[in-house]
Chains A and B, each alone.
Chain A
């Protein structure tokens, strides 16, 4: 597997000196890192390090105090979150986030929004193109549900799913939005070991479909197994960056995790 550290290819995502201050509290002091296309890059760090805040900045849910986020050369910090998703930068949420009152199938169908074109007039006039589009989308939904292994739950209300299934559904919704870059915020949180194992497979298969992945995860075994690169954040600063085997041996990283207690450093 090429680590592409000194490749001439421009990275798909470049975070440049991003800073986030919350009225006095410095959540991110200054953060710069890049995500090469086609890789799984993990962003790790103790609780409160600023990982979710970084996701919020990249996906337009939060305007940074300073700095830039370049996606294939476009500065994302000026765009609204839905425009950013429109470019193919799609995130999941740390807290389980689904359309609880809709069926599993409709959840994923809603996620396909940006792959459709149908608007009010076409819908009201029942244009043939709209019907064809719906048909296409429904097939794609079935495929995505099969991919994450939720086909048998398609007609169930999303709110009735078990916790682990809801986490998978969150990913299915994001996949439906056809991401080029997928940001996963602690996707394995709360899963048992066998679920986590299955989950790692899903993430790797997403990458194999050509989707670049930026992963925030506390499960170190998962991070070290599937990442191509790891970026370590502590107190709003990047303290280390590199391939997993290098990060594992980095004394600053060990210190950061030990200083916080070892509960998250398992594996």
Chain B
């Protein structure tokens, strides 16, 4: 019962705590960390559950960000025909959903590809995919404004009974929105991995031949996982773009994928809570360090912290804590048994 309530208690604390503190800077840090945690959760579905290392995961994030930005701003596309294709500004939520869909579509293509190229080749292909996306964003200036970035992206809006539809300029609302999307993504992943579909994904990670020998269509489930993961990363990108309200090609930078991988691996890949724990630790850490250390020292501490976690807790923080609790319970049970023996003797 307590384990069922614990996650909701955590959500409640996360919802109330920062607002109660009321510090705008803390809200900003937690919002951007939250956005990355959503990305990390989606990466975990691939890396942790299906065992496929996609080092181009930020591509889905960037595709979601750009698509959502472009749809909400409107754009015209000169495809060489007589008339350019013109699309007026769309409602932000339509744009946001569009970003998710387009990211998911790319997820579908990468998922199909993942089946054909495995291991190291897949890693290279996914890295290249993100790089190509960055090049497209840089060079397709007519559409993306290239390095000048897309500016003045409208914020997401929300309907409130007491205010009607309001655009979300305020940090508090953005923070709560990110938290809400994170909760939805968590529930989707939780339901998925604890089901027949999730077991098929884990089977692919654990032993692909055995999975196929019992009739699991590994290709299909790998594609399902990539589509869902890409869609979620696209949602994170959409949240990002409407929160920061500017998006440039640097959104596709490799370092962001690395950040998400660090969050997943330190927290514990293949666990539900891992990306959240690792994400909070390694999303908030740089900001804390910024307060206390010089820039070059910040990154040294960051790197050392990461290595320490990976070295001493190779499975990640969450499995380590779980094992510790399980071990303690066993020890307690053993002592209880020993006591009973002594008294009976």
Q: Which of A71-101 contact B (CB under 8 A)?
A: 80-83, 85-86, 90-93, 97-101
Q: Is the CB of A81 within 8 A of B196?
A: no
Q: Is the CB of B191 within 8 A of A97?
A: no
Alpha-carbon distance between A83 and B216 when the two chains are bound, in angstroms:
8
Q: Is the CB of A174 within 8 A of B214?
A: yes
Alpha-carbon distance between A109 and B214 when the two chains are bound, in angstroms:
11
A168 shortest CB reach to chain B, Å: 15
Q: Is the CB of A120 within 8 A of B206?
A: no
Q: Which of B181-239 contact A (CB under 8 A)?
A: 188, 191-192, 195-200, 202-203, 205-207, 209-218, 224, 228
Q: Is the CB of B213 within 8 A of A99?
A: no
A91 shortest CB reach to chain B, Å: 5
Alpha-carbon distance between A177 and B205 when the two chains are bound, in angstroms:
19
Asked if A114 is at the interface (CB within 8 A of a chain B CB), the reply is yes
Alpha-carbon distance between A120 and B207 when the two chains are bound, in angstroms:
22
Q: Whose C-beta in chain A lies nearest to the C-beta of B195?
A: A123
Q: Is the CB of B209 within 8 A of A113?
A: no
> What are the residues of chain A within 8 A of B210 when measuring CB–CB?
93, 97-99, 173
Q: Is the CB of B206 within 8 A of A99?
A: yes
- Given A99-B207, A102-B202, A106-B199, A85–B188 Cβ distance below 8 Å? no
Alpha-carbon distance between A185 and B225 when the two chains are bound, in angstroms:
32
Asked if A33 is at the interface (CB within 8 A of a chain B CB), the reply is no
Q: Is the CB of A126 within 8 A of B206?
A: no
Cross-interface CB contact of A91 among B198, B213, B217, B224, cutoff 8 Å: B213
A145 shortest CB reach to chain B, Å: 16
- Given A110-B202, A113-B199, A120-B192, A177–B214 Cβ distance below 8 Å? yes
- Given A90-B213, A177-B214, A97–B199 Cβ distance below 8 Å? no
> What are the residues of chain A within 8 A of B199 when measuring CB–CB?
106, 109-110, 113
Cross-interface CB contact of A119 among B197, B205, B212, cutoff 8 Å: B197
Asked if A29 is at the interface (CB within 8 A of a chain B CB), the reply is no
Q: Which of B218-264 contact A (CB under 8 A)?
A: 218, 224, 228
Cross-interface CB contact of B200 among A110, A124, A126, cutoff 8 Å: A110
Q: Is the CB of A100 within 8 A of B206?
A: yes
Q: Is the CB of B197 within 8 A of A82?
A: no
Alpha-carbon distance between A134 and B199 when the two chains are bound, in angstroms:
12
> What are the residues of chain B within 8 A of A120 when measuring CB–CB?
192, 197, 224, 228
> What are the residues of chain A within 8 A of B206 when measuring CB–CB?
99-102
Q: Whose C-beta in chain A lies nearest to the C-beta of B218?
A: A82
A42 shortest CB reach to chain B, Å: 20
Alpha-carbon distance between A102 and B201 when the two chains are bound, in angstroms:
12
> What are the residues of chain B within 8 A of A176 when measuring CB–CB?
214
A125 shortest CB reach to chain B, Å: 9
Alpha-carbon distance between A109 and B211 when the two chains are bound, in angstroms:
12
Asked if A142 is at the interface (CB within 8 A of a chain B CB), the reply is no
Q: Is the CB of A177 within 8 A of B191?
A: no
Q: Is the CB of B195 within 8 A of A173?
A: no
Q: Is the CB of A118 within 8 A of B196?
A: yes
Q: Is the CB of B214 within 8 A of A111?
A: yes
Cross-interface CB contact of A81 among B200, B212, B228, cutoff 8 Å: B212
Q: Is the CB of B188 within 8 A of A113?
A: no
B190 shortest CB reach to chain A, Å: 10
Asked if A190 is at the interface (CB within 8 A of a chain B CB), the reply is no
A138 shortest CB reach to chain B, Å: 12
Q: Is the CB of A123 within 8 A of B192?
A: yes
Asked if A257 is at the interface (CB within 8 A of a chain B CB), the reply is no
> What are the residues of chain B within 8 A of A123 when measuring CB–CB?
191-192, 195-198
Q: Whose C-beta in chain A lies nearest to the C-beta of B207?
A: A99
Q: Is the CB of A85 within 8 A of B192?
A: no
Q: Is the CB of A118 within 8 A of B213?
A: no
Asked if A66 is at the interface (CB within 8 A of a chain B CB), the reply is no
- Given A106-B199, A110-B199, A173–B191 Cβ distance below 8 Å? no
Alpha-carbon distance between A118 and B194 when the two chains are bound, in angstroms:
12
> What are the residues of chain A within 8 A of B228 when measuring CB–CB?
120
Q: List 7 A-B contacts (CB under 8 A).
A: A61-B209, A82-B211, A82-B212, A85-B212, A99-B210, A113-B199, A123-B192
Nearest 10 CB-CB pairings of A with B: A85-B215, A114-B215, A99-B206, A123-B195, A177-B214, A81-B212, A118-B196, A110-B199, A86-B215, A116-B196
